[in-house]
Amino acid sequence: MSDAKLQGVLSALSPVARQLNALPSNQPGRDANCVKLNTNENPFPLPMMVMQSALAALERHYLYPEDDNLSLRDAAANAYGLSQDQVIAGNGSSELLGLIYRAFLDPGDSVAMISPGFSFNRKLAMLQGARLLEIEWGESYSLPIEQLLLGPARDAKFILLANPNNPTGTFVPVDEIDRFVAQSDQLIVVDEAYVDFAPDDALRLVDRHSNLLILRTFSKGFAAAGIRVGFGFGHPELIERLRNLQNVFNMNVIGHAVGISILSHRADYHENHKYIKHERHRTTTALSQLGFSVIPSHTNFLLARVPPAQDGKWWQASLARQNVLVAVFPDSGLENYIRVSIGTRTQMDAFLSAARDIISGSMKTQS
């Protein structure tokens, strides 16, 4: 295609598609040997039984997957004490987030997110031509309930919060969420992507509130980010509205098999969760000794304020030169922070050793 033709084609892009060029990327270049601590994966093998279910599913490669994810939804309903019509299954929870945006937002509408929050929501709002109202967390990362009930979020079609939250790693007690959802007449979406590393979860609220949707994923707690399995739980009518918008065959046969198998082998992950929490504690202590200030985390990552003198981007670039990838954020107030996923002990040692090298290198240049 000649360039003139290409320019003609590109000029037909919708204003939204053009605007999306402006989104920052959180993923510096990647090589196979890098220590990848920038997207909060869980770098451990799947339990053997789960792996076997994936391999067995491959034999069904020529068949379309089951329609409407029936068996997977059934398995999730049984595992979590809900009915099948309270469950939607997605190709990762990000698919389900996207469905919620499509279901509720017209161009010009508003959606509110407690902020800083999961940055993908900015893209989703942009795709709908909607305004994302970012409402700051309250004191010590508590729910800003007054703001939400009486401030500009009143006009939002729905309100989102992640609990535990990304990127802060902080956790709001479930009772606080319960009280807030009870007082609100808006849809509240609680994204529990990191709940497997947290002290509590909000699933018991699903039967109590018809204005609540809970999202879960197997990407973080269950080491299946590449397989893409996510769930939404809520009132059957809400869930049905979302299912109506879903692509046919939105998941594949491997996702179905792995999802069902994980649901019946959840206990096999206890050691993994214990390990990650232990490494989280060890890394927090080590980083504090190096002059970082770490926000106590209830997730599989840490948000750490870097030592004075350099900012988060400088640290990200310096670590990348040592083949260690971490995330930084464009949000105002987060310029001096890096987010580090918790991986294996070897990965965390590599990260800490790179951090020590960087600090001693920068001390040499200062002296």
Ligand X SMILES: Cc1ncc(COP(=O)(O)O)c(C=O)c1O
Residues contributing to the site for ligand X (CB under 6 A): 40, 92-94, 118, 162, 166, 191, 193, 217, 219, 225, 230
What's the min distance (Å) between Cβ of 41 and ligand X? 9
Task: Return the number of the residue (69 or 166) whose C-beta is nearest ligand X.
Answer: 166
Q: Toward ligand X, which CB reaches closer, 215 or 358?
A: 215
The least distance separating ligand X from the CB of residue 225, rounded to whole angstroms, comes to 5
Smallest distance from ligand X to CB 78, Å: 21
Q: Which is nearer to ligand X, 216 or 243 (CB)?
A: 216
Write down the H helix ranges in the chain.
3-11, 15-19, 48-58, 70-80, 93-104, 120-127, 145-150, 174-183, 236-245, 253-264, 270-289, 312-321, 345-366
> 166 or 170, CB closer to ligand X?
166
Q: Determine the angle formed by the axes of helices 93-104 and 236-245, rounding to 10 degrees.
A: 100
Query: Shortest Cβ distance from residue 360 to ligand X (Å)?
Result: 33
In the complex, the smallest distance separating the C-beta of residue 216 from ligand X, rounded to whole angstroms, is 8
Backbone φ/ψ region at 189: left (φ over 0), alpha (ψ -120 to 50), beta:
beta
Strand partners, 136: 115
φ and ψ at 338, to 5 degrees? -120, 150
State how far the Cα of 125 lies from the Cα of 57, in Å rounded to an integer. 35
Tell me how far, at minimum, the Cβ of 4 lies from ligand X, in Å: 39
Beta carbon nearer to ligand X, 53 or 94: 94
Contacts for 123-128: CB closer than 8 Å, 24+ residues apart = 123/20, 123/23, 124/97, 124/98, 125/101, 126/16, 126/19, 126/20, 126/23, 127/16, 127/20, 127/98, 127/101, 128/101, 128/102
Between 8 and 226, CB nearer to ligand X:
226
The values of phi and psi at residue 169, to 5°, are 80, 5
